[in-house]
Structure 1
Amino acid sequence: MASRLGTHLGEWQATTAVAQSLADRIRMLLLDGRITVGERLPSERALAAELGRSRATIARAYELLESGGYVARAHGSGTRAALPAQRIHRPAAAGDGVIDFTIASVGSAPGMHAATVRALDRLAGLLGTPGYSLDGLPELRERIAARYAARGLPTDPDQIVVTSGAMHALTVVLAAFGERGRGALVEQPSFPHALEALRRAGHRLMPTPVSPEQAAGEGQGGGWDAAHLIETLRAQRPALAYVIADFHNPTGATMPELERARLAAVARTTGTLLVVDETCAELDIDRGWTPRPFAAHGPALLIGSMSKIAWGGMRIGWIRTTSAEQTARLLAVRPSIDLGSPVLEQCIAIELLDDMAPLLERARERLSAGRAAVAAGIAQHLPGVAMPRVPGGLAAWVDLGGPWSTSLSLGARDRGLLLPPGPRFSPSGVLDRFARIPITWEPEVTAAAMERLGAAWRALHAGELPDSTRLAASAVV
């Protein structure tokens, strides 16, 4: 039976410096969260048998990890993953020269300051109230509902529960509707923190593939393997399915309306709760068509957010329910998590939603420029790699042509670029031939980042090993 470590090592291969290469790979698995601190690793003998390597090679790899503080070994308790305390830090994108491509965010909107000033007057009228807002300010819920109606999905304000961002929304949904031990259908690749939230809630993840190649038009099949998706639902009958149907993160694919309707219909028959993440739904560059929100085709909980449109620091999100019963259930569990979202930020969100057109146009311009910069960087610095079609969303999901993403990520870190490897977006630790490159940064920052990535690419293909002493943990946004 394959160990968790063996499964996550996936397509790892090395022909020279095998022990060092294996140590670097295990270290990366730890640093990007696929192996957890304190987790017991296989014995030398067991891992040697699983990988088809000598026990001496495994022993040397563990010694290298131990010398760097990345494993702890004790008689009777085996080998456990660890982190050296002095190296646990998050490099910033400014100040120390590090460019952080783990972040895919368009930055603050030009009108953010003015909206904040206007929101202070709105806040003043609320200072005489207790200040708790379990379901959200009525004025904000009205505007979110109106936004859904404008996109083709009539919505009552009572169907909206305001949250402190999209991840908080998913946490509340899982607290209300999660079923520990039951299956959860997820896309592969998908947003890493959502996968972690589902695991933490006790779900068994059931992946279904998504790719960017077919994300070209309304009449096509999107990036989803529709047959696999439907068969998984029918055969496994998962408790819930977490789907990113619009500008899928990270592939950029959009699910066609016909496939949405089919998925909604099958989910009804299998008793599967559809949880649809719409945080990227309005990040359109030049898709050429606009689908209705997923719930227009059948029951689904929708999750939205202001952070990808306005600013990552705007921690306002929401859940759109399909029934009063769902709303009541969410509000019943929420007090065990928090007692409402910040009122000032809700007031700012009201001001921003009253003037959405400039926000969306600014996001389109920023993403278009970022996409062009990534395409130019790939053409200049990654020979043989093709830029995928990116009609919108946050990033390009780039096929590197071989299982090099983790090694490339290690090399990029050595050169001051944080780039999460493809397996970080997989529920099963595969996809090492892909890398997510954000299109959200300013073109000049992207150009510098792609130059660093190119240097790592050349070193990788020249057989150079990354400098493992300068690695740092990071999240993915």
Structure 2
Amino acid sequence: MTSRLVDQLGAQSVAGATAAALAGQIRALILDGRLTVGERLPSERALALELRRSRSTMTRAYDLLEGDGYVARRQGGSTRVALPHAYISPREHEDESAIDLSIASMDSTPGLYDATVRSLPRLATLRGTSGYSLRGLPELRDAVAQRFTQRGVATSADEIIITSGALNALNLVLATMGRRGERAVVEQPTFPHALEAIRRHGYRLLPTPVDVEGWDAVHLSELLLESRPHIAYLIPDFHNPTGATLPDAARSRLAATARNTGTHLIVDETTAELDIDRGWAPRPMAAFGPHIITVGSMSKIAWGGMRLGWIRAERSLISRLLAVRPSFELGTALLEQCIAIELLAEMPALTAHVRSRLEAGRAAVAAGLETIEGVRMPHTNGGLSVWVDLGAPVSTLLSLAAREHRLILPPGPRFTTGGVLERRLRIPITLPPARTTEAMDRLRLAWTDVREGDFSHRDELPRAAVI
């Protein structure tokens, strides 16, 4: 079994790399958050064996990292991830001139203010209550259930729990039904924080490929049948980051296979309403079986600042979720719930605004990428981003070069389980067009640096690097 460091590096990507280049790639993993502070790294001898390189090369790479403060070593002991003492986290000291493409989220819908004002009388009627709502307000659960019903799967309010966002919903599901040591199928690439949550709950991750053309249905089916995983985490609508959508027929086959293997499908619908011009609407995955658990959120269609999501599941699981939830949370904020009731009553206007914003963002990205030779942007019908093909495995290098131009740009491997997809880059289409145009100008400068050799894995990366 390979170490997590080698999984993240990708053995092929470091084949023949010098000690300085290897140190640079490990440093990139640390700055990008794929290796965590305090995490133990393999010994020099073990790493040399895994990579089939000389021990002296591994020693030199660790020496470089230690000299810059990115690892801490004890004589005869362990090597652990660290950060330089002068390092300033971007969350502690924001660089206002930087453009952050690590967050694919729009600003608030114009209707948010009016919805907030209209929600206040409802909130006022709740002042006489305890203020806790473990299951969620009945009116909001009913509104979410109605939205599922409108989309093609009959749903009642008692099949819904309101949560503090979709990631909170995923963690509640995993805390309730997780089994340490079991297998979990995940898409490759996928939402990085979901990977972290599933791994933190002790699952062994089994990746299945997804690209802009969609899923490898044969691979996914065979993976389920052969490994019989406990769970599978999927984003079937405007997949993050590729933008692909799983057709109805494939959904039906997948649900049937998962039912036969005893696999619980956890479906993330955070991006389900982000349609630009797909031209067709699939049925929700929940329509294909009671073993399917759906998580959703208001963050992408209303505002990221609204920490409100939900879980749709069969009633027996809802009861188990409610029993576990008080161990780490007593409910979702009432103000957000009151606002969401108002917003869900105006879904046509809300989705029309989202469509207009995403269409403008997509056009701005396309215009910017046209000026960057060698980069290919696939057509994207909706979702949060475009999954760009760089034409060469330089994503991490480009991400590091972008920092020099105050552009925060997560590389393709950030969305994977094992340091792969270095040819790919996720670019959000959610920023205002003018901001996107500026971001593409900075990306072009970083691309020129990489292509002309003006940027390489340096011994001295900026100590106040933004991530």
In the alignment, which of 331, 334, 341 is matched to residue 322 of structure 2?
Answer: 331
Is the contact between residue 361 and residue 430 of structure 2 (CA under 8 Å) also seen in structure 1? yes
Amino acid at match of 1:283: L
Match of 2:194 in 1: 194
1:457 and 2:460 aligned: no
Match of 1:310 in 2: 302
Q: Which runs of 5+ in 1 are unaligned?
A: 215-222
By how many angstroms is 1:358 displaced? 1.5
The 5-angstrom pairing of residues 439-458 of structure 1 reads: 439-458=429-448
Match of 1:2 in 2: 2
Match of 1:137 in 2: 137
The DSSP-based 3-state class of the residue aligned with 1:302 is: strand
Distance change (3 Å), C-alpha of 1:197 and 1:95? closer
Match of 2:223 in 1: 232
By how many angstroms is 1:95 displaced? 5.8
Match of 1:275 in 2: 266
1:262 and 2:253 aligned: yes
By how many angstroms is 1:473 displaced? 5.8
The 5-angstrom pairing of residues 93-104 of structure 1 reads: 96-104=96-104
Match of 1:243 in 2: 234
By how many angstroms is 1:55 displaced? 3.8
Amino acid at match of 1:422: G
Is the contact between residue 315 and residue 345 of structure 1 (CA under 8 Å) also seen in structure 2? yes
User: Which has the higher mean CA deviation after the structures are superposed, 104-113 or 460-469?
Assistant: 460-469
- Once residues 19 and 3 of structure 2 are traced to their aligned partners in structure 1, the CA distance between those partners, rounded to angstroms, is 19
1:167-191 CA distance string (max 9 Å, x none) = 0000110011111111011100010
The DSSP-based 3-state class of the residue aligned with 1:235 is: helix
Is the contact between residue 84 and residue 463 of structure 2 (CA under 8 Å) also seen in structure 1? no
Amino acid at match of 2:151: R
Match of 1:60 in 2: 60
By how many angstroms is 1:92 displaced? 9.1
Amino acid at match of 2:352: E
Is the contact between residue 376 and residue 391 of structure 2 (CA under 8 Å) also seen in structure 1? no
Is the contact between residue 410 and residue 426 of structure 2 (CA under 8 Å) also seen in structure 1? yes
The 5-angstrom pairing of residues 62-141 of structure 1 reads: 62-90=62-90, 96-141=96-141
The DSSP-based 3-state class of the residue aligned with 1:23 is: helix
By how many angstroms is 1:46 displaced? 3.6
- Once residues 332 and 86 of structure 2 are traced to their aligned partners in structure 1, the CA distance between those partners, rounded to angstroms, is 35
- Once residues 258 and 185 of structure 2 are traced to their aligned partners in structure 1, the CA distance between those partners, rounded to angstroms, is 11
Match of 2:177 in 1: 177
TM-score by length of 2: 0.95
1:66-104 CA distance string (max 9 Å, x none) = 122110111122321111243141269986300000010
Q: Which runs of 5+ in 2 are unaligned?
A: none
1:320 and 2:321 aligned: no
The DSSP-based 3-state class of the residue aligned with 2:195 is: helix
Amino acid at match of 1:139: E
Is the contact between residue 91 and residue 472 of structure 1 (CA under 8 Å) also seen in structure 2? no
Match of 2:404 in 1: 414
What is the aligned-residue identity percentage? 60
Amino acid at match of 2:138: P
User: Which has the higher mean CA deviation after the structures are superposed, 229-238 or 57-66?
Assistant: 57-66
Distance change (3 Å), C-alpha of 1:415 and 1:473? closer
By how many angstroms is 1:52 displaced? 4.5
Is the contact between residue 86 and residue 463 of structure 2 (CA under 8 Å) also seen in structure 1? no
Match of 1:32 in 2: 32
- Once residues 6 and 129 of structure 1 are traced to their aligned partners in structure 2, the CA distance between those partners, rounded to angstroms, is 53
1:151 and 2:144 aligned: no
By how many angstroms is 1:41 displaced? 2.0
Distance change (3 Å), C-alpha of 1:112 and 1:263? same
In the alignment, which of 378, 399, 403 is matched to residue 388 of structure 1?
Answer: 378
Distance change (3 Å), C-alpha of 1:272 and 1:375? same
In the alignment, which of 287, 293, 299 is matched to residue 301 of structure 1?
Answer: 293
In the alignment, which of 277, 281, 287 is matched to residue 286 of structure 1?
Answer: 277
In the alignment, which of 458, 462, 466 is matched to residue 469 of structure 1?
Answer: 462
Is the contact between residue 184 and residue 239 of structure 1 (CA under 8 Å) also seen in structure 2? yes
- Once residues 266 and 230 of structure 1 are traced to their aligned partners in structure 2, the CA distance between those partners, rounded to angstroms, is 7
TM-score by length of 1: 0.93
Match of 2:419 in 1: 429
User: Which has the higher mean CA deviation after the structures are superposed, 340-349 or 294-303?
Assistant: 294-303
Is the contact between residue 8 and residue 417 of structure 2 (CA under 8 Å) also seen in structure 1? no
By how many angstroms is 1:35 displaced? 1.9
Amino acid at match of 1:426: T
In the alignment, which of 393, 411, 419 is matched to residue 403 of structure 1?
Answer: 393
- Once residues 152 and 264 of structure 1 are traced to their aligned partners in structure 2, the CA distance between those partners, rounded to angstroms, is 16
Distance change (3 Å), C-alpha of 1:228 and 1:15? closer
By how many angstroms is 1:287 displaced? 0.4
User: Which has the higher mean CA deviation after the structures are superposed, 112-121 or 194-203?
Assistant: 112-121
Amino acid at match of 2:13: W
Query: How many residues of Structure 1 are paired with residues of Structure 2 in the alignment?
Result: 462
- Once residues 271 and 14 of structure 1 are traced to their aligned partners in structure 2, the CA distance between those partners, rounded to angstroms, is 40
- Once residues 416 and 90 of structure 2 are traced to their aligned partners in structure 1, the CA distance between those partners, rounded to angstroms, is 22
Amino acid at match of 1:320: R
Is the contact between residue 410 and residue 471 of structure 1 (CA under 8 Å) also seen in structure 2? no
Match of 1:219 in 2: none
The DSSP-based 3-state class of the residue aligned with 2:162 is: strand
- Once residues 426 and 318 of structure 1 are traced to their aligned partners in structure 2, the CA distance between those partners, rounded to angstroms, is 25
Is the contact between residue 92 and residue 99 of structure 1 (CA under 8 Å) also seen in structure 2? no
